[in-house]
Amino acid sequence: MPGRPVAHNQNRAPGAPRAPPSRGPHPPGEKSGGPQYYLERGIRGPLGKVLGLSFAIFAVIASFGIGNMTQGNSISSNMENSWNVPVWVTGLVLTVLSMVVLVGGIKSIGRVTARLVPVMIIFYVAGAIYILLANVTQIPAAFGQIFSEAFTGTSAVGGFAGSVIIIAVQFGVARGIFSNESGMGSAAIAAAAAQTTHPVRQGLVSMTQTFIDTIIVVSCTGLVIVTTGVWKQIDPETGEQISAALMTGEAFTKGLPGEWGHWIVTIGLVLFAFSTILGWSYYGDRNIERLLGRRAVMPFRVLFSLVVFVGCTVQLGVVWAFSDVMNGLMALPNLVGLLVLSGLVVRETRYYLKHDPKLEATKEEIEAFMKDQPGWEQWKSGDVIGSTQNYGGT
């Protein structure tokens, strides 16, 4: 777990600075960008067009998995376990709330998520830190347990020795993507809508997300589960290890005084997962617009909201399997594009850091050393690349 973010940071950094240069204005003042545009613009010829279109198609499909059904499923499972709320009731409420927010457009998505995410992080991390401080003497052994069990028979039963490593890597990468989405290209879609004085700055900012959600949040979660011993807990009804969706709640309940650990996890999970649903709706509608034009955005949002109910009520294993496949298909064209465009990203980053090594340059100073650079004026104006004018939107 501690080593995983190193690779993810390398995947996240190149995508975000490519997003702002390859974006365009929309009639209501919104901007759209991401791999669905910069792959085609940055890689000339049929390859770039195929990669851009492939990404858009897979991103739309993947949005129903990682950003929709898995989130709804996690919320409904924890609501049922914590407060005995039927999954269909949770699904119905989430569907209605999603539809109410999503029909408001990107501005309402931004307002809701901006309020939800900080609250979720504060409550969740505070609870985790309390548990870890209470079990501070067990933390060294917990780290040893995590590393040893990752490559032993506990990670995979039967088979040849190499299969253990293969399965560990497979699940590590799959869950790493769920943690911070590095390499998938989703961060670039969000970065394209950001207000920034230079795309390199936005790329550096985007890298901090990996540190926060993986190094801090995920590492704290893993340590809490191990130090409380919940990872070995058996479900009395099934005789098997308790499900991953419920494991964190059990760990917080055991590690915190009283019975309110489930409250922190469930409320935090609801806030985080619901904000993820809203965010991934935005990723999906930017790509559906790339494929079918602006007219398709609102029908997509309605369908996206309805699928939340499906995610809340189906079996967890089906949801995760679908999401893993779609995540891989979405990441493939983006990673190919990042390899091809890596030289360009390095040159742009080096040029900017040469003139602003401490990231303290004002807008006027940036303008002075960038004014003669190719594409600078087009980026500032929000050029038509990636806009509905080029791709049949209305």
* Domain limits, the chain: 18-137+229-381
Measured CA to CA in angstroms, residue 87 lies from 63, 168, 240, 318 at distances of: 21, 31, 22, 16
What are 104-125's pLDDT values in tens digits?
765 676 677 667 778 878 888 9
Where residue 89 falls among pLDDT bands split at 50, 70, 90? very high
3-state secondary structure of 25: strand
**pTM value?**
0.82
Where residue 245 falls among pLDDT bands split at 50, 70, 90? low
How many beta carbons lie within 10 A of that of residue 84, not counting itself? 7
Q: Are 235 and 241 in contact (CB under 8 A)?
A: yes
3-state secondary structure of 43: coil
What are 25-46's pLDDT values in tens digits?
455 556 778 999 999 988 989 9
3-state secondary structure of 257: coil
3-state secondary structure of 205: helix
Distance between CA atoms of residues 243 and 316, nearest Å: 9
Write the burial class of residue 344 (CB in 10 Å: 0-12 exposed, 13-18 middle, 19+ buried): middle
Element (H, E) at 212: none
Distance between CA atoms of residues 16 and 207, nearest Å: 9
Q: Is 375 left (phi over 0), alpha (psi -120 to 50) or beta?
A: left
pLDDT higher than threshold 60 for residue 16 = no
Nearest to 83 by CA among 223, 267, 257, 242: 267
Q: Are 253 and 233 in contact (CB under 8 A)?
A: no
pLDDT higher than threshold 80 for residue 269 = yes
Report residue 275 as tokens.
């904000």
pLDDT higher than threshold 80 for residue 314 = yes
What are 126-171's pLDDT values in tens digits?
999 999 999 999 999 999 888 877 666 554 444 444 444 444 444 4
Where residue 382 falls among pLDDT bands split at 50, 70, 90? low
**What pLDDT score does 174 carry?**
46
How many beta carbons lie within 10 A of that of residue 346, not counting itself? 11
CA dihedral 352, 357, 363, 365 (to 10 degrees): -90
Where residue 52 falls among pLDDT bands split at 50, 70, 90? very high
Q: How far apart are the first and last CA of the chain?
A: 46
